[in-house]
Amino acid sequence: MKKLMIGAAIGAFALGGVAAEAADKVTLQLKWVTQAQFGGYYVAKDKGFYEEEGLDVEIKPGGPDVAPVQVLAGGGADVMVDWMPSALAAREKGVPVVNIAQPFKSSGLNLVCRKETGITTPEDFKGKTLGTWFYGNEYPLLSWMSKLGFSTEGGDDGVVIQKIGFNVDPLLQKQADCITAMTYNEYWQILDAGLSPDDLVIFSYEKEGISTLEDGLYVLEENLEDPAFQDKMARFVRASMKGWKWAEANTDEAAEIVLENDMTGAQTEKHQKRMMGEVAKLTAGSNGELDPADYERTVETLLSAGSDPVITKEPEGAWTHAITDKAL
């Protein structure tokens, strides 16, 4: 009997080892460094949601020298997190990326101005200097200025568009009257630097009707032709959304999980908990499925971005519900 029990135990261990080895590997490339902006994925890995779906997921942080589209196109990742302007620009330039899920329902992009500049409405932008990030992130602002009838070449009847880094120094040092800021990141950096909400005037891209979709999940179109890849992505999306919903309901705990995965030690508990609370507002209302109306709004915004739009024509095949249909 003892030999039988030992044999059974060895057999069970062997089967467990095979099961572990059989887990499908998925590599996720993030748009930016490890932070609560990507909390749902870290939660899904930490809580075993990926493991429950038979997945072995590697989460690769991004950074200023990492272009998610290039990593994906080069085979360094199976799926990436990216903003739709960047993804659609890449598709038009020949990298066939496809949106398979949209965890972020709302945009966290704002334009933050010093109140002392006298800006109270968008019409007051005339003659002012507006700082924004480039690499495709500038197009919502350019589109907005176009709709307002402002030239972006400067002058009394236009505005000056200033290229800024991913920091808030231009506003603090009064090099720009307004700068772009995420609700979950740069806005809090401004407050931490000593300015108060009373010192600021904030314009929400979402409320102004010029927002574009952020932080979607994208894969290469050719991979979607493989049923096994589709199945793997459906399981990945299902587990990821489970992670996002857990993070929404447990923001402080989710932030702590993110901190545990920050190998740089650059993030602080205070900032990550605030960030997770704000990010939860942006994923709220999403089950992962892309809303075609949100997609159309994004495309319209990008196509109306003046003389140098991020895309020049209506995209075709840039998104699919095939994965979320399977996942949900």
List, for residues 57-97, the tens digit of each pLDDT value.
999 999 888 999 999 999 999 999 999 999 999 999 999 99
Given a cut of 80, is residue 250 above it in pLDDT? yes
The distance of Cα 64 from the centroid of its chain, to the nearest Å, equals: 15
Q: In the sheet that 109-114 helps form, which strands lie side by side, from edge to edge?
A: 160-163, 129-132, 178-182, 109-114, 200-204
Angle separating helix axes 39-46 and 251-260, nearest 10 degrees: 80
In this predicted model, which residue has the larger pLDDT, 280 or 9? 280
Given a cut of 80, is residue 1 above it in pLDDT? no
Dihedral angle over CA of 243, 247, 253, 258, nearest 10: 70
Given a cut of 90, is residue 12 above it in pLDDT? no
Q: According to DSSP H, which parts of 250-291 are helical?
A: 251-260, 269-283
3-state secondary structure of 89: helix
pLDDT for 73:
98
Query: Residue 97: how many CA atoms within 13 Å on its side-chain side?
Result: 31
Mean pLDDT, rounded, for 2-22: 45
Q: Could you tell me which CATH class the domain 109-208 is placed in?
A: alpha beta
**Alpha-carbon radius of gyration of the chain:** 22
Global pTM value: 0.89
Intrachain domains 24-105+213-327 and 109-208 with the same fold = yes
Given a cut of 90, is residue 108 above it in pLDDT? yes
Given a cut of 70, is residue 253 above it in pLDDT? yes
How far is the CA of 67 from the CAs of 32, 76, 79, 132, 147, in angstroms?
A: 9, 11, 13, 18, 30
Q: Could you tell me which CATH class the domain 24-105+213-327 is placed in?
A: alpha beta
Q: What angle do CA 6, 7, 13 make, to 5 degrees?
A: 90
d(CA 236, CA 233): 5
Mean pLDDT, rounded, for 101-121: 98
pLDDT for 5:
41
Q: Tokens for 222?
A: 């050719």
pLDDT for 309:
72
pLDDT bin (cut points 50, 70, 90) of residue 258 is very high
Q: Tokens for 24?
A: 């499908």
CB burial of 43-80 (b: ≥16 within 10 Å; e: otherwise) equals bbbbbebbeebebebebebbeeebbbbebbbeeebbbb
Residue-wise pLDDT tens digits, 290-305: 999 999 999 988 887 6
d(CA 237, CA 221): 16
Would you list the domain boundaries of the chain?
24-105+213-327, 109-208
Query: Residue 107: how many CA atoms within 13 Å on its side-chain side?
Result: 25
Residue-wise pLDDT tens digits, 127-158: 999 999 887 678 788 888 888 889 998 777 89
